Amino acid sequence: MTMKALRVGIIGQGRSGRNIHAEFLKKIPEKYTIAAVADLLPDRAERARQEYGCDASTDYHDLFKRTDLDLIINASTSQYHVPITREILEAGFNVLCEKPLARRAAEVDDLIATAKRTGKLLAIYQQSRFAPYYRQVCDVIESGVLGRIVMVKCAFNGFGRRYDWQTLQSFNGGNLLNTGPHPMDQVLGLIGRDIMPRVWCQMDRVNTSGDAEDFCKIILSYPGRPTIDLEICSNTPYPSSTYDIYGQYGGLRGTTTKMTWKYFIPSEVPTLPLQRAPLPGPSYCSDPGLKWHEQEWTVPEADKDLFSSMSGKFYSNLYDAITTGAPLVIPAEQVRQQIAVVEECHRQNPLSRLPDEA
């Protein structure tokens, strides 16, 4: 059976629209063809015309006049994700929106309702759900060897002094809305996508040139679920592990390329009856009967290009969703949970704003 290549229009040819989407899609021509792009800057539009052999315009509304597009990618700046995504759906096209989808949960509700009313597909580019290291974390937890999971620490940290539009609140910038959708989507899968967790958040501005945060610490909790400790900070030159898992029988620590987990098997160790009387001699509790097991994971050769690995799986699922009606792995309803948490984080941390340019 011959596969049909979907014809794609892309709004925006900045780092996301060009480097993330267009440059990847041109590698899988059997599934996707870049038919048209739009960018406000004429030089970017002309560059896309030459690089991809596609039509190009400085007005994204020109894409709506076409009848040959199967999908439009919204890679505009973040503050336009909601209104342009709504326009795309209303114009009768399937849409893939870059993250962050929105700033408020009510906006996501509106887009979901618009997609249902128009009968068009609403997808959000949360490709980190497919990250091999995250899948490994999930596999270890689901195996049960760590027992009940008590806490999950996740850190997407580094050091940087950022000065572009993604440092501005008016552009829906800041670490939480820019980098945050990746780890937030992951950790919500570990506390549960069926609930709204309790949220504690502390934000700060440290080295950013704009008025949005570049330090973000979040604690998520819910009765009977693991505590989530999430950091998205640009203020540490010594980033450590990406994930630390605290479990009943052991734990896991690792990065995006290597993980180790250590655990004991309850049937192999003696029970420790409670001793209410003082322990004999000058001693302290010890557990000499504990027998540890340790395992290790390194990223497979096929997944070492993390971007291509995640993008390939995401775009494969999107292709199936459009051509066969397969369900999206990351439906908009799950992204709504993420945006609700983000909205609460911002509510707790009302930062002052720079005046808009005249």
Residues 153, 40 within the same domain: no
Residues 234, 98 within the same domain: no
Please enumerate in sequence order all residues whose Cβ is within 8 A of that of 196, keeping only pairs 6 or more positions apart, or say none: 337, 340, 341
Total tally of structural domains belonging to the chain: 2
pTM: 0.95
Asked whether residue 316 is assigned to any structural domain, the reply reads: no
Chain centroid offset of residue 162 CA: 20
- Joined together, the tokens standing for residue 250 give 């052991």
Crossing angle of helices 332-348 and 105-118, in 10° steps, is 160
Give the model confidence (pLDDT) of 143-152 as tens digits.
999 999 999 9
What integer pLDDT is reported at residue 281 of this predicted model? 73
Asked whether residue 276 is assigned to any structural domain, the reply reads: no
Of 108, 125, 142, which closes a domain?
125
**Domain CATH code at residue 227:** 3.30.360.10
Residue indicated by tokens 């609460």 = 344
Asked whether residue 328 is assigned to any structural domain, the reply reads: no
Average pLDDT, integer, range 282-309: 91
Of 125, 153, 181, which closes a domain?
125
Asked whether residue 251 is assigned to any structural domain, the reply reads: yes
Residues 53, 192 within the same domain: no
Give the model confidence (pLDDT) of 314-325 as tens digits.
999 999 999 999
Nearest in space to 351 (alpha carbons), one of 216, 163, 193, 198:
216
**pLDDT exceeds 60 at position 225:** yes
Give the model confidence (pLDDT) of 34-62 as tens digits.
999 999 999 999 999 999 999 999 999 99
Residues 76, 217 within the same domain: no
Range of the domain at 106: 6-125
Q: Where is pLDDT greater, at 94 or 289?
A: 94
**pLDDT exceeds 80 at position 308:** yes
Of 110, 125, 140, which closes a domain?
125
What integer pLDDT is reported at residue 3 of this predicted model? 76
Residues 237, 344 within the same domain: yes
What integer pLDDT is reported at residue 188 of this predicted model? 98
Asked whether residue 277 is assigned to any structural domain, the reply reads: no
Asked whether residue 95 is assigned to any structural domain, the reply reads: yes
Residues 139, 219 within the same domain: yes
**pLDDT exceeds 70 at position 305:** yes
The mean pLDDT value of the chain amounts to 96
Residue 306 sits at φ, ψ, to 5 deg, of -60, -45
Whether the CB-CB separation of 108 and 339 falls below 8 Å is answered with yes
Nearest in space to 326 (alpha carbons), one of 131, 126, 124, 121:
121
Residues 161, 141 within the same domain: yes
Nearest in space to 23 (alpha carbons), one of 308, 301, 305, 302:
308
Residues 141, 251 within the same domain: yes
**Domain CATH code at residue 109:** 3.40.50.720
What integer pLDDT is reported at residue 2 of this predicted model? 61
**pLDDT exceeds 80 at position 356:** no
Spatial separation of the C-alpha atoms in residues 209 and 351, rounded to whole Å: 14
Give the model confidence (pLDDT) of 160-206 as tens digits.
999 999 999 999 999 999 999 999 999 999 999 999 999 999 999 99
What percent of the chain clears pLDDT 90, i.e. is strictly above it?
93
Give the model confidence (pLDDT) of 122-143 as tens digits.
999 999 999 999 999 999 999 9
Residues 75, 224 within the same domain: no
Average pLDDT, integer, range 244-253: 98
Crossing angle of helices 81-90 and 105-118, in 10° steps, is 10
What integer pLDDT is reported at residue 358 of this predicted model? 46
Helix (H) or strand (E) holding 216: strand 215-221
Where does the pLDDT of residue 282 fall: very low under 50, low under 70, confident under 90, or very high at 90 and above? low
Where does the pLDDT of residue 275 fall: very low under 50, low under 70, confident under 90, or very high at 90 and above? confident
Whether the CB-CB separation of 97 and 71 falls below 8 Å is answered with no
Residues 91, 111 within the same domain: yes
Residues 300, 157 within the same domain: yes
Give the model confidence (pLDDT) of 68-121 as tens digits.
999 999 999 999 999 999 999 999 999 999 999 999 999 999 999 999 999 999
Asked whether residue 318 is assigned to any structural domain, the reply reads: no
Residues 141, 160 within the same domain: yes
